[in-house]
Structures are given as structure tokens and as C-alpha cells.
Amino acid sequence: MGITFRKETFRDDFTFKNSPEHIRRFPFPFHEDAYMYAVNIEPHVVGPKGSVLENLIDVDEHYVAEMQDRALVLAEDPLRCQSLPHMTLAGWDLLELLMEQQALGYPEHFTLTRDGDRWRWINRPLGIDDTFTFGDTSTLPYGPMEYITRQSQGDFCILDQRDGNLWMDAGMVTTQADWSLDFDIGMNFFEWHAPVPLAHEKGIFVRALKFLTNIQQGKPARRLNWTMTINPRLDTSPENYHKWGPDRATVTPENVGDKVHLRVELQSFWRLPRSNGIVFPIRCYLIKMDELVTQPKWARRLHRVIRDLPDELANYKGLTRYRPALVEWLSKLDDGSATSPGFGPD
């Protein structure tokens, strides 16, 4: 049985919402009642059926709407997709990875057939049926990275490994949490993580870089990251801060449940076979407070996490202005009872 794709928007009238089934599969990022930065990296292996980890590349009910929103962003700002000249081979690596994973996990929606270098790609949800020569950019309407990431949920950064470091030398970034590909393109791992508070002093990024540079082909890894967003807006880029920044001043005790969204990134890391680069998919999931608190464990835990979050992290994540209203709203759903260990709902 195929996925039923929602007709919805992530801007203007904000009609995005999650179905009840999608609420329960949401990747809630807190396994305990407190949060602090850590090297929370684990092997990216297939998880439970019905979860966002059922397939290594997740496609869900928001797929078509997210691809439509990406096309709007790119029409407004083509620099959200950039690839330095030496990264074309890595783009072909990524095209192969995403086509294979989508066709494997969702054969009713995607089909890949290969006859040597002659490939045919069918994407039924988007009405695409293209035949091309693998490795020949002239046979595609875009470069290989842009072609396939216009058809894949989440952002994608391709990192070139050299000089003992990772360099952000290509990417498709239209659903980011307040950072800019155009600013970070060509930076190394420490440079683009420079704004993160507290983690540098703990040596977290030194350990993370050591881990990432040793990732082997066929053994991807993953981690969860999170922040919060007002309204279900995918594009919260610095370039468009004037559109979404003022939203933070619109939160009131009466509209917390509808306006405030937990924004979770499922980040994975894959070694690419030909280029030896690493691709860093950043898959964004959104859930409004009214949806999240249908799971009582999550309501209690989120209240405790946000209440006790260090001020430096609250400021970095942009929560300071509406944090008191959010904590007060969540407190009414926290009876003080214990929460079970782990991420999932009870």
C-alpha cells in the first residue's frame, strides 16, 4: 500500500499538519528528562517498522508538499544549491545513493532500472520519468546533485575529506535552522560549527570529526538534533530572517499549542564510493505542540527539558523570547509522574 501524500503548505497560510499515524512516528529527540550537547552518534541501521527508521532514507506523507516548497525556495534564491567544481563526482555518488534507497524502500512510488551506464528513473509522486547516462551531466536537466535533491526530502551537504578535515563543498539547503549554505560553502568542520555554544569547550567537535573522518563505506551513522520554530516553516534561513524572525513575537499563552513547533533533524552520514566524500543528509521533521502533547510522556518530558535548558542553549536555539509562555503551557500537562526511558511514546 502506497503513501497518501498531503496537500499542504509551509508558508503563508501554513496548512501543514501531521496525521495521527505520523505523530506517533515522529522522531522525538529526548531519551531522558534533560538535555545537553553530546556526541550522540550511532550506526544508521534499519529500525522498527512504522518508524522514521524503517528505511534508511525516509519518505513520508509530506513528500510532495516539501518538494513543491523546495522548488519555490530555489526559484527565489538559486544559491541555496551550490557545488564547487571538484564535487561533480560526489554528486553522481549521491544520485545513486538516493535513487537506490528510494526505489528499495518505496517500490510503489520509485523505480530505478540500469543497463550499464544507461539509467531510467521513475518518480511517480512527482510525475518524473527520465532516461539518462550515468556520469554524463548533459543528459540531465540539472547537475546530478541538484537533480536528485529536488526529489528528496531534507537538506544535503556533501563534505570533501582532505587535510585531516571535512570541507562543506556542495549542498542543497532549503529547510535549514538558521544557517546559510552560501556563507558556509568552502568552510571546514570547525569553521561552520563555530557559533555553537558550550560544545567546543567539551571537545565534542574534535571527537565528532575523528568519528566522521573514519566512517566506512556501507556503514552510515546518524544522530538527532533539534530546535523550535514558530509556525510550520521549513525555510528558516538567515537570508529570509525578515520573514520568520518576527514570528517569535507572536506567541501568546493562547496560541502556543498551534504556533510553537518542535523541529527535529535526523542527520545521517554516508561515505560515498567513488569520490570518497561524505554526504550529510539533514532531514527536518516538524510537529506542533497540540500534536506532540497527544503523547503524554512527550508532554511531560518536553516540559522538563525546556524548563531546565541552560540559558546559553536557549539563546542559541532562539527560544528565549517565548520560552516562559511555552514552559507555562507545558507545565499544565506535567503531573510530575516518572517518564519511561527511551525516545518513543508510551
Q: List active site positions.
A: 223
Q: Which residue, chain included where needed, has cell 503563508?
A: 12
Q: What's the one-letter identity of residue 293? A: V
Beta bridge partners of 63: none
Chain position carrying cell 516562559: 324
Please name the residues in contact with 59: beta carbons below 8 A apart, sequence gap of 6 or more: 3, 102, 105, 106, 109, 153
Is the CB of residue 178 less than 8 Å from the CB of residue 237? yes
3-state secondary structure of 300: helix
Half-sphere exposure of 30 (CA within 13 A, CB side): 23
Cβ neighbors of 105 (< 8 A, separation 6 or more) are 54, 55, 56, 57, 58, 59
Number of other residues whose CB lies within 10 A of the CB of residue 281: 27
- Which helix (H) or strand (E) segment holds residue 143: the answer is none
Q: In Å, how far from its chain's centre is CA 28?
A: 13
Phi, psi of 128 (to 5 degrees): -110, 135
Please give the sequence-ordered ranges of beta strands (E in DSSP) within 186-331, or none if there are none: 221-230, 260-271, 278-288
Strand duo 260-271 + 221-230: pairing: antiparallel
| Cα pseudo-dihedral 236, 237, 243, 247, rounded to 10 | 40
DSSP one-letter code for 216: P
State the amino acid at position 279 in one-letter form.
V
Strand partners, 230: 260
Alpha-carbon gap, residue 71 to 65, rounded angstroms: 10
